[in-house]
Amino acid sequence: MTTELIFVYGTLRTNARNWTRYLAPQCGRAATTSPIFTMRRVGSFERGYPILEAEGTTAIHGEVFEVDSATLESIDQLEGHPTWYQRQMISVRPNDNTEVEAWIYLMPKGQYPTAPLIESGNWLAPDP
């Protein structure tokens, strides 16, 4: 069985609202990106959900999961890939200080220019 790595930063993180349906019972490995993104909060329910743009100066905190092709396809559908979010391969650093290549979902720049920034790069961190 072929597997791939996926970096998640929002509702797919361990114990967040979409984790149970798509990734449980697996728990992700904490990981961080390079500081090259912009994270924004959109939506009015609970904490809303984060969007990530490919340009910026923020390191993103999330988790890396190993998934099979069926799970990746299901997550593609959740994320609306390729018409809503676009899935791209990036380098991320798990907390063991290695570097791995993983898929990430990015929003095209300019879709939500006035949405509040998440300057910490961590959607699950308390708002300042």
Active site residues: 79
CA quadruple 48, 67, 25, 121: dihedral sign: negative
Q: Which residues contact 114 (CB under 8 A, 6 or more apart)?
A: none
As a residue count, the chain comes to: 128
Angle, CA 45 vertex, CA 57 and CA 66 arms, to 5°: 60
Instruction: Give the whole-angstrom CA distance, residue 56 versus residue 97.
Output: 23
